[in-house]
Every structure is written in C-alpha cells, then in structure tokens.
Amino acid sequence: MCGIVGMVSSNQFSTLDVIAALKRLEYRGYDSVGIATSDGWVSKDVGEIDKFMDILEDRSANLAISHTRWATHGRVTKENAHPHASNDGSIIVVHNGIIENFEQMRAALRSKGYSFISQTDTEIIANYLEDKLRSGMGMQKAIRSFMKDAEGTFAILIIIKGEDTLYAAKRDSPLVLGILGDGFVLASDIYAFSDKTSKSIFFDDNEYAVITPRSYTFYVDSKEIEKQITEVQWTGISEKDEKYEHYMIKEIHEQPVAARRLIESMDTTQRSKMDLLARLCRQCKRVLFVAAGTSYHASLAGVYMFNSIGIEAHTLIASEFQNFMLVNEDALVIAISQSGETMDVVKAIKYAKDKGSKIVSIVNVPYSTVQRLSEVSVEILAGQEICVASTKTYTNQVLILICLANLLGFRTDIKSIPEMIGSTIESSEEKVMELSRSMSDTRDIYVIGRGISYPLSREVALKLKEISYIHAEGMMGGELKHGTIALIEEGTIVFSFIPNTDYEMLSNTQEVAARGAHVIMISDNPEFEPTFLLPPSVPGSFSVTATIIGQLFAYYIAKEKGLPIDKPRNLAKSVTVK
Ligand code: AGP
C-alpha cells in the first residue's frame, strides 16, 4: 500500500502541488503523510492529507518526493512517517512495499555505527545508500547493490541532498513516470498526474531510473534500456458531487448507470475480448479464479454460474492460491481485481504464469499491473471508485461474469439488470435508513445465503465489517446448524437472502427465527413476505440486487454511528503488500 509521488522540473513548483498530486493516491493509505525537497527540508505528520495541508509550508522546489502511508512496520507515529533520511541527512527516501530482510540489513548497518529513529523497514534503505556512497560507490552502483541485497517488494524514490537528480527503483510494487512539458512526475499510479499529462512510462520489475529535469534513463543492472511511452486514455475520473455526503453513497447510486455502460460495452467495444475469453474458457480443462476481498466474492458467483453450465471452475483467495490450488498448463486463470494492484493477486498470477497457465483478468483500473500481466483483460468500466469499500465495482464484476457465462451457455436477460438495480435502490433506501437507526449498537450480524445467494452473503458481511464496524459472518444457510446456530439468541440480527423458490433457504431462516433471531429477509418472492421485496429476478441478477440492500445497510448504520465511511480505520483501497 502507500502512495508515492516525486516531481522534478526545470521550473520551480510548490510543495502544495506535490501534495495535491499525492492526495489523488490517498486511497492507498492515510495513516501519515510527508514530503522532502532536494535541499534536505523534510515535513511530515500523522493523519490525513487534508489535515497536513493546513500546516504545510508553501515552498518552492525543483525536486521533491512525498508519501502517504499505510503502516506496515512500526506504529502510526511521526517518526515512522516517510520520507526517511539517512544518518547524515544526505539521502532521503520514500518507499512503498516491504523489505523482508530489513532486520538483517539493519543489524549489519548498526554494526557499522548507523542508528535508527524509526521502526520502519524504509529507514534502512536511506542508511544503506549513505553507507555505499561513503565507501566511494556512485549512486547507480549503490542502487544496484541494494536491489541485489534487499528481499521483498519496493517502489522507491531517492534524493541526494543538494542535487537535482531523482532516482527511482521498482520490484513488484507499482511505479510509473509521467512526462511533463518541463520535467517529470513519478507516482504509484497514473491517477496522481491525470490532470498533468497522459504520457506515461511504466516501470517493470527490477528496473531503476535516473531522472533529471530534462532527461530520464532506465536501467536493468548496469544496462541502459529503451522504454515505451504509453499515451494513457483517461476514463471515468470521479469528482466529488455535493449531492452526496460520501463517495460510498454516490457510488452506490452510480450502479445503474455503470452497469448499463458495461453491458453496452460487452456488445460493442469489449465484444471481441469477451469472445476470446469465452473461447479460452472452452479450451481449458478448468477455470481458476483468483481474487481478494470483494473481488473474491464476485468470483464465487462466477464459480456458481460456470459450474451450473458444465464449465469446471474454482476460486481461491489470492494469498492462499499457491498453497491450495493445483495450477498448471491445463488451467485458465482469471484474476479479478478492482485496483489491478493487489499484491496477493499479482503474486498469484506470476506464480500461475510460471506454471504454464494462461492469465486473463477483469480489472477496473486501466494500465494496472494485473491488466498488463494478462493476455486479455476485460475492463470493469465502473469509473473511478474512491470509497475504500467496493460497491459499484462488485456489481460490474458480477455482470461481466454473467455475460461470460451467457456466452458459454447460461441463459439470462442481462440487459434487464440495470433497471432492477435502479428500482432496488429506489424502493429500499428509505426503509434501510429507518431500520439502520436502531442498529447502531448491534455487535453481531449473521448473513446467510445458499447457492447464488451465498457469495453475496459473504460480500454483505464484509461491507458490515469494514464500514459499520459490526462483527458479521457471511455463511452458507445450510451450515449454520452445524455449530454457529449456538450463537443465535433472542434478538440476534440475521440477514437472510432467499432467491425465488429456495425453500431450503426458507427453512434455514425459520430455524434461526425459531430461536429468537430478528430476521431481515431479502427475497424476490412475495410469497415469503420478505422485509425487502426485490424486483423479480432473472438468473444471476439476485447476486447484484440483493447485495445492494447490504451495501445500503452498511452505509446507513455507519452514518448513524458517525464513522469515517469513505476511509475506514486500518484499511486502504489498494493493498499492495503481501
Ligand atoms: C472491498 O470493499 C475491500 N476494501 C477489499 O476487500 C478489496 O475488495 C480487496 O482488497 C481486493 O481489492 P482489488 O479488487 O482491488 O484487488
């Protein structure tokens, strides 16, 4: 996680400009923020960027580096905030990633007399480079030596105090260079400079670059390499809309439009990619989805649909993919990711590629690492999602899977779904708001589903956890009686998702109601007299419409509790560490 931005220019710019660019990466982490300029000036603090901007000195510079942190090593303190300087202040560094062998590296530096004021892995980078430079090495050689000695992941920006050259290096963590008229900007992703330039160069693993106000040179080891300039097409940049208090509710309301845009693209601009994906699904022996969090829940819906039409499909949480999945050349691996930068997913697909699998993906952020590692990548086209919790991207992920399943023999009227999404929001929002008022003290919620409604029960539970800070469990309705039902007491809230004529799910619901549970039933079957009656489903649509009720509950309960909805504690939108 963490976002980094560096700027180098032949004209002076303000430190405020750098932090404004960094603000666009705040979804990567918001524990602390900091900036350094090439004259050695460093300013940093804990908390969010807006708060930092109130105290930030408006200084002019030709070279600066900055960082927004999601803490990995060391607590959220000013000392642990980046940038980190070396002992004599000559080297200043910002870093995204994790140096896994930092303890050994730190011990080696300590034995040479270096001291450390933070608990971070990053501080060793600055001191390591200072040490090499003191020994007479040039900076490029020192960077190469670091890349050889360091284990783990990194995107690093380095300045030498008093010089006008910016150094950058990358392994696994994302890094991109933007070409400006009078200089360059380096960032964790292209959104940081979407208002400045569309000319980008993506770093590949184990590359480093030397950037001056007028030139850039990329290297692998000591060899200079040619890099391709990508002309980025900007789509779906999201701006604040005063009508909505939070991005989350804005993004929930954007779902009908985002769904329509996606469905249309799958018939037009994305048609050939969808056909190729369908062909690859038919040709392989089995489909393996890999994803994390919400994207994993969407993949579970895919497994349900694919298996129902005779296509063998499995899914596994990305961080366990290498441990529990048989991966070989018979498999087609479909990575699903909003950000396209989730490190667990990136690692899993690199592993699968090595094992001979074909890699394809479903990604929201264009030009992201997952997209660039894929043979074919379908775009989620939800537009930029700012709230840390995924809503509209989940819906569009499921819609892509429904469409893909349709091409393989599943039969549904996908075009009717956007309207169902709209009417679900319209008919339920007031009632959700009202019920949420009495749920702010709720400690536990059980969310149950079966078949197509099981994946969404997991997704709704995740939303309740991350946004409303309520312990929630998304479970298979049939599994409840095998243990968890012991926790159901008088008044325990159970969300029950019952699609069409699922009488087994109805029985599971009655089992908890008989033990005093307060059931909130969501169904498209009026016969069941649900708390929320959804529009009549078509195959697959329940995965989307029913989830929206859960999204709304998570939002309104959190609002009732006064929680930081768009930036919940301890989270970041893009999880770029293992
Ligand atoms: C979603 O609400 C979560 N914040 C999180 O689980 C997320 O889905 C997960 O980290 C995966 O991210 P990705 O889709 O960008 O790969």
Segment 316-343, tens digit of pLDDT: 999 999 999 999 999 999 999 999 999 9
- CA 165–ligand 1 middle distance (angstroms): 36
Q: Which of 78, 141, 573, 578 is an active site residue?
A: 573
Query: How far is residue 478's CA from residue 378's CA, in Å, rounded to a whole number?
Result: 34
Find, among 373, 433, 398, the residue nearest to 263 by Cα.
Answer: 398
Beta-bridged to residue 44, according to DSSP, are 34
183-187 and 358-363 beta bridge pairing: unpaired
> Which ligand 1 atom sits nearest the alpha carbon of residue 295?
14
Which residue is closest in CA terms to ligand 1's atom 9?
293
pLDDT by residue (tens digit) across 30-79? 899 999 999 999 999 999 899 999 999 999 999 999 999 988 888 999 99
Tokens (6 digits) for 293: 């969090």
pLDDT at residue 477, rounded to an integer: 95
State the distance from the centre of ligand 1 to the C-alpha of 334, rounded, in angstroms: 16
Compute and round to an integer the Cα radius of gyration of the chain. 25
DSSP bridge partners of 335: 290, 361
The mean pLDDT of 293-320, rounded to a whole number, is 97
Q: What pLDDT score was predicted for residue 74?
A: 84
CA distance 237 to 256: 17
Based on the residue annotation, tell me whether 573 is a catalytic residue of this protein. yes
Instruction: Establish how many alpha carbons lie within 13 A of residue 345's alpha carbon, considering only the half-sphere containing its beta carbon.
Output: 36
Residue nearest to atom 5 of ligand 1 (CA): 293
Give the confidence band of 566 by pLDDT, cuts at 50, 70, 90: very high
Question: Measuring CA to CA, which residue among 76, 16, 83 is closest to residue 52?
Answer: 16
Mutation pick for ligand 1 pocket among 247, 248, 295, 458 (CB with most ligand atoms within 8 Å) = 295
Q: What is the per-residue pLDDT across 354-392, written as a single tens digit (0 to 9) for each?
A: 999 999 999 999 999 999 999 999 999 999 899 999 999
Cα of 369 to ligand 1 centre, how many Å? Answer: 15
Residue 239 above 80 pLDDT? no
Domain(s) labelled CATH 3.40.50.10490 in the chain stretch across 238-411, 433-568
Domain with CATH 3.60.20.10 in the chain: 3-231
For ligand 1, atom 10: residue with the closest CA: 293
- Choosing from 27, 188, 289, 294 the residue with most ligand 1 atoms within 8 A of its CB, the one to mutate for a pocket test is 294
pLDDT, tens only, 384-415: 899 999 999 999 999 999 999 999 999 999 99
Closest atom of ligand 1 relative to the 370 alpha carbon: 16
**Under a CB-based contact definition with an 8 Å cutoff, are residues 94 and 66 in contact?**
yes
Q: 529 CA to middle of ligand 1, Å? A: 34
Is residue 327 within 8 Å of 352, Cβ to Cβ?
Answer: yes
Answer for the pair 361, 337: CB distance below 8 angstroms, yes or no: yes
Inter-residue contact 485 to 515 (CB < 8 Å): yes
Q: How far, in Å, CA of 220 to CA of 446, rounded?
A: 52
Residues with CB under 6 A from ligand 1: 292-295, 337-339, 342, 345, 388-390, 466, 575
What confidence score (pLDDT) does residue 362 get?
A: 98
pLDDT on residue 520: 98
pLDDT at 236 over 70: no
- pLDDT, residue 247, reads 95
Distance 571 CA to ligand 1 centre (A): 10
Q: Which of 332, 327, 248 is nearest to 286 (CA)?
A: 332
Question: How far away, in angstroms, is 247 Cα from ligand 1 center?
Answer: 16
What angle is formed at CA 536 by the lines to CA 533 and CA 537, rounded to 5 degrees?
A: 115
Ligand 1 centroid to residue 331 C-alpha, Å? 24
Residue 578: predicted pLDDT: 76
Q: What is the mean pLDDT of residues 232-246?
A: 80
Q: Give the atom of ligand 1 at the shortest distance from the alpha carbon of 388.
A: 4
Query: Percentages helix, strand, coil for the chain, rounded to the nearest 5?
Result: 40, 25, 35
Residue among 246, 463, 569, 575 to mutate when testing ligand 1 (max atoms within 8 A of CB): 575
- d(CA 244, CA 295) in angstroms, rounded, equals 25
Ligand 1 atom nearest to 389, measured from its CA: 2
Identify whether the C-beta of residue 277 lies closer than 8 Å to the C-beta of residue 376. Answer: yes
Mutation pick for ligand 1 pocket among 315, 342, 371 (CB with most ligand atoms within 8 Å): 342
Mean pLDDT for the stretch of residues 102-118: 97
Instruction: Report the chain's mean pLDDT, rounded to a whole number.
Output: 95
Query: Which one is predicted more confidently, 447 or 24?
Result: 447
| Angle CA 320–321–323, to nearest 5 | 65
Q: Is residue 574's pLDDT more than 90?
A: no
Q: Which residue has the tokens 């002992």?
A: 87
Q: How far is the CA of 318 from the centre of ligand 1 (A)?
A: 11
Spell out the CATH class of 3-231.
alpha beta
pLDDT tens, residue by residue, 408-428: 999 999 999 999 999 999 999
> Does an H or E element contain 435, and which?
helix 417-436
* 355 assigned to active site: no
Which atom of ligand 1 has the smallest separation from the CA of 390?
A: 2
Nearest CA to ligand 1 atom 3: 389
Q: Is the pLDDT at 443 greater than 80, yes or no?
A: yes
**Is the per-residue pLDDT at 241 higher than 80?**
no
CA-closest residue to ligand 1 atom 6: 293
Mutation choice for ligand 1 from 297, 388, 390, CB with most ligand atoms inside 8 A:
390
The pair of structure tokens assigned to 430 is 């007031």
Q: How far is the CA of 338 from the centre of ligand 1 (A)?
A: 7
Pick the CATH number of 433-568 from 3.40.50.10490, 3.30.930.10, 1.10.10.10, 3.10.129.10: 3.40.50.10490
Q: How far is the CA of 113 from the centre of ligand 1 (A)?
A: 42
**Closest ligand 1 atom, residue 391 Cα:** 2
- Whether residue 240 is predicted with pLDDT greater than 80 in this model: the reply is no
Task: Please say whether the beta carbons of 543 and 255 come within 8 A.
Answer: no
- b (16+ CB within 10 A) / e for 147-185: beebebbbbbbbbbbeebbbbbbbbbbbbbbbbbeebbb
Nearest to 395 by CA among 381, 375, 376: 381
Across the beta sheet with 376-379, the strand order is 313-317, 286-291, 331-337, 358-363, 376-379
Average pLDDT over residues 518-545: 97
Q: Give, using CA atoms, the residue closest to atom 16 of ligand 1.
A: 337
Give the ligand 1 atom nearest the CA of 574: 15
Atom of ligand 1 nearest to the CA of 294: 8
Q: What percent of the chain has pLDDT over 90?
A: 92
pLDDT of residue 30: 85
Please give the pLDDT value at position 439. Answer: 96
pTM of the model: 0.90
What pLDDT shows up at residue 434?
Answer: 97
Label residue 458 left, alpha or beta by phi (over 0 means left) and psi (-120 to 50 means alpha). alpha
User: Yes or no: is domain 238-411 CATH 3.40.50.10490?
Assistant: yes
- Determine the Cα–Cα distance for residues 330 and 312; give it in Å rounded to an integer: 12
Q: Which atom of ligand 1 is nearest to the CA of 339?
A: 15
Per-residue model confidence (pLDDT) at position 573: 84
SS3 category, 103: helix
What number is the average pLDDT over the span 172-199? 95
Q: How far is CA 69 from CA 256, 453, 489, in A?
A: 34, 37, 41
475, exposed or middle or buried, with CB in 10 Å at 0-12, 13-18, 19+? buried
Ligand 1 atom 4: residue of nearest CA: 389
- The CA 465 to ligand 1 mean position distance, Å, reads 13
> Crossing angle, helix 392-407 and helix 293-308, to 10 degrees?
20
Residue 485 reports pLDDT greater than 90: yes
